[in-house]
C-alpha cells in the first residue's frame, strides 16, 4: 500500500470514529431533553404517590447506566481516532507531537461504573435529572398536582 493510500485510510478511520462519537453525543442530548420534558410534565400532571419512590430511584439508576454505556463507547471511538492519527504521524514521519489528551483516561476501577460523574456534560445531565426527580417527589408527596387541584375545584355548574 502506498504511503498516501495508507494515510488516507488512517484518516478515514479517525474521521469515522469521531463522527460516530459526535452522532452518539447528539442522540444523547436529544434523548436527555426528552427525559427532562417528560419529568417536567410529570411535575404538573401527575401525583407523586402514583409512583413509589423506588420508581424514581430506578429511573435514575437506569439513566446513569445508559450514560455510562455511552461514555464507554465514546471513549473507545476517541482512542481509535487518536491511535489512527498517531499511526499516520509515525508512518509518514511527520514529527508531530500527538500525545493522547489527558482527559482520555482508561475506564478502570470506579470509572468503569461511575465515570459519567466526572464527565462534565454527563454529570450535568445526571444531576439535573436527579434534581427533577427529587423535585417531583418533594413537591407532590400525597398532594394533588396543580393541574389536578384546579380541575377538581372548578364549579362547572352541572
The domain limits of the chain are: 3-153
pLDDT at 30: 97
pLDDT at 140: 63
**pLDDT tops 90 at residue 17:** yes
**What is the rounded end-to-end Cα distance, in angstroms, of the chain?**
84
Q: How far apart are CA 36 and CA 42, in angstroms?
A: 10
Q: pTM score, two decimals? A: 0.78
Pick the more confident residue, 101 or 22: 22
**pLDDT tops 50 at residue 154:** no
* C-alpha cell, 57: 430511584
Amino acid at each position: 500500500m502506498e504511503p498516501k493510500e495508507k494515510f488516507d485510510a488512517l484518516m478515514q478511520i479517525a474521521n469515522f470514529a469521531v463522527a460516530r462519537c459526535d452522532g452518539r453525543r447528539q442522540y444523547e442530548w436529544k434523548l436527555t431533553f426528552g427525559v427532562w420534558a417528560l419529568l417536567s410534565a410529570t411535575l404538573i400532571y401527575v401525583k407523586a404517590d402514583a409512583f413509589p419512590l423506588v420508581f424514581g430511584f430506578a429511573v435514575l439508576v437506569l439513566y446513569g447506566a445508559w450514560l455510562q454505556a455511552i461514555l464507554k463507547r465514546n471513549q473507545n471511538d476517541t482512542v481509535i481516532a487518536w491511535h489512527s492519527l498517531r499511526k499516520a504521524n509515525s508512518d509518514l514521519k511527520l514529527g508531530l507531537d500527538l500525545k493522547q489528551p489527558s482527559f482520555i483516561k482508561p475506564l478502570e476501577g470506579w470509572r468503569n461504573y461511575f465515570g459519567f460523574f466526572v464527565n462534565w456534560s454527563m454529570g450535568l445531565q445526571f444531576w439535573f435529572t436527579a434534581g427533577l426527580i427529587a423535585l417531583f417527589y418533594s413537591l407532590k408527596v400525597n398532594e394533588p398536582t396543580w393541574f389536578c387541584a384546579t380541575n377538581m375545584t372548578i364549579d362547572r355548574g352541572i
